Amino acid sequence: MIVRPAGNAVHLITQPDHAHLARTIMERCSTLADHARRPSILHAIAEHDNGWTEEDAAPIVNPATGQIADFVGVPIEIRHRVWPRGVERLADPWAAALVAQHAITVYDRFRADQQWTSFFAGMEAMRDARLSESRLSRDQLLADYPFLRLGDLVSLAFCTGATSQQRFGPWVVKLTDPRVAVTPAAFGGAVVDFEIVAREIPHRSFESDLELRTALHHAVPRVLRGQVA
């Protein structure tokens, strides 16, 4: 679950919804427009967080704080299980290999942590198996992956409301709400409008997971609109 501050409220956005927004944005990416593997890349972008579906349907509270445990703060066992599940759901081996590579990339900071050793071994094995199925090379995978990561960063910047600058490869991503700026240009100079539906609940602590889920059941839908340029 993504938790976006909204004054006395918070806006909750599911990980799959964030991923679908990332695809909508990257459909307008000028450097991807004529790519031979564009359909598989866009499919990977749209489905890269599908493994979070079950977790977002039953959000949990951090017992130490009473706050919602977002996708960064959930227990390690949840972060470990969502990615194999997500990769296994993808019939397209190239899209699956890209999603496995994404999991390896975004958690690379934990590489030296022994609690993550089996995770990396498992994800690398899944990636290599899908890569073999695709009959394409590791170099091609690494060349295609930045499109997924760029879409992820742009969508995350907006969905989280975080204004800190993010870098990946040649790109810098920065939110000045409601616009996400990407440099160097990746959208042909266009301003791309987008929207996503969030669920609004009061910003407060919760005594239990059940209390949080009850609040979510009564949440008010909010359409959040932004731009990328």
Distance separating alpha carbons of residues 89 and 25, to the nearest angstrom: 23
Mean pLDDT of 21-37: 96
Cα dihedral: 130, 21, 222, 211 (round 10): 20
Helix axes 93-106, 117-134, angle to 10 degrees: 150
The predicted model gives 33-43 an average pLDDT of 97
Contact 192, 225 (CB under 8 A): no
**Which residues neighbour 25 within 8 Å (Cβ) at sequence distance 6 or greater?**
151, 154, 155, 192, 194, 228
Strand-strand pairing, 220-228 and 2-6: unpaired
- Compute CA 209 distance to the chain's CA centroid, rounded to the nearest angstrom: 23
pLDDT band at residue 167 under the 50/70/90 scheme = very high
DSSP run (H or E) holding 108: none
Q: Two tokens at 114?
A: 């022994």
Indicate the average pLDDT of the chain. Answer: 97
Model pLDDT, residue 140: 98
Confidence of residue 53 (pLDDT cuts 50, 70, 90): very high
What pLDDT, on the 0 to 100 scale, is given for residue 216?
96
pLDDT at position 47 = 98
- The residues near 149 (Cβ < 8 Å, ≥ 6 apart) are 102, 105, 168, 169
* Tens-place pLDDT, residues 106-142: 999 999 999 999 999 999 999 999 999 999 999 999 9
The whole-number pLDDT of residue 82 equals: 98
What pLDDT was estimated at residue 141?
98
205: nearest Cα among 3, 56, 49: 3
Q: Which residue bears the tokens 């791309």?
A: 192
Planar angle of CA 149, 154, 157, nearest 5 degrees = 120
